[in-house]
Amino acid sequence: MTLVDTHTHLYLPEFSQDIEAVVARAVDLGIEAFYLPAIDSETTQAMHALKRRFPERMHLMMGLHPTSVQENYADELDHVHDQLSHGSFCAVGEIGIDLYWEQSTLPWQQEAFAQQILWAQEFELPIVIHCRNSFDEIFEVLAAVKGPLPKGIFHCFSGTLEQAQHIIDLGLSLGIGGVATFKNGKIDQFLSQIPLKHLVLETDSPYLAPTPFRGKRNESAYLYHVAERVAQIYDCPLAQVAEVTTANAHTIFKS
């Protein structure tokens, strides 16, 4: 049985002291690949360093995280495009809109999001979308995209069944992580109405640790607990969840 962590920030300082053990624990549980979303230019070198350390297991994305969209966002976008032009990446991400932390930057976030979707089209890469308190704003940007919308993942999905269906209708997959294990996560109440073929699994390490580790540092090994919870929700074997979601991930990332 193999699993894929489609969203994990293993290059962050939280893992600097024990990254070998963190990766080993995940691999021991059958987690074969780790997809690393970008944040901004300050973390780019750490991502590349981790890729050099585990070249077969780490897969890098490139993008500007919406919470990093500040006054210098034009320079940050130049960095993203330069990286995409000269490097090898599996996706443009994580990109999107976050109105939880800051609402005044919405126009900049919208511009950065739209521009990076254009680059995903240009480089023929999938997109990985960050959405927090911003479903309507993200749907508005996606609706304005000219030409085919890239495939991709709506990372850390925590919306409604109606919103999930709209995302699927756009040709995007749902990233399911620790929220599915929370008592107040709500998505467990309707998730089984969505075919497994539309789901991928993720941890968002070091954030959003699943139950029973909620509130602690998340790590990729905990993806196993997410997979177990999804199997419970769908009332199906864990091996089936692993097989389908892993295949979905490989299809999206063309790996």
In order of start, what are the domains of the chain with their CATH numbers? Answer: 3-253 (3.20.20.140)
Q: Per residue in 1-39, pLDDT tens? A: 999 999 999 999 999 999 999 999 999 999 999 999 999
Summarize the confidence of residues 69-93 as an average pLDDT. Answer: 97
| HEC per residue, 52-92 | HHCCCCEEEEECCCHHHCCCCHHHHHHHHHHHHHHCCCCEE
What pLDDT score was predicted for residue 208?
96
> Are residues 154 and 172 in contact, defined by beta-carbon separation less than 8 angstroms?
yes
- H helical segments located in 124-211: 135-143, 161-169
Average pLDDT, the chain: 97
For residue 190, is pLDDT > 90? yes
Let me know: does 40 contact 63? Beta carbons within 8 Å. Answer: no
State yes or no: pLDDT of 255 exceeds 80.
no
Cis ω before 195 (30° cut-off from 0)? no
What pLDDT score does 70 carry? 96
pTM attached to this predicted model = 0.97
Q: What is the pLDDT of residues 33-80, one digit of tens each?
A: 999 999 999 999 999 999 999 999 999 999 999 999 999 999 999 999
User: What is the band of 108 on the pLDDT scale with cuts at 50, 70, 90?
Assistant: very high
CA 245 vs CA 21, 82, 145, 238: distances in Å: 25, 32, 27, 11
Identify the CA nearest to 203 among candidates 225, 184, 182: 225
Please report the pLDDT score of residue 83 as a whole number. Answer: 98
Name, in order, each residue with C-beta under 8 angstroms of 91's C-beta and a sequence gap of 6 or more: 35, 37, 61, 62, 63, 120, 125, 126, 127, 128, 152, 252, 253
pLDDT of residue 161 exceeding 80: yes
Give me the phi and psi of 174, to 5 degrees please: -100, 125
Q: Residues 110-137: what's their mean pLDDT? A: 98
Confidence of residue 185 (pLDDT cuts 50, 70, 90): confident
Closest residue by Cα to residue 165 from 137, 147, 143, 190: 190
> Which long-range contacts (C-beta less than 8 Å, at least 24 apart) are formed by 234-241?
234/191, 234/192, 234/196, 235/192, 236/196, 238/1, 239/1, 240/196, 241/196, 241/201
C-alpha to C-alpha distances, 17 to 101, 158, 206, nearest whole angstrom: 29, 31, 13
User: What pLDDT shows up at residue 191?
Assistant: 97
Question: Residue 228: in which H helix or E strand, if any?
Answer: helix 223-234
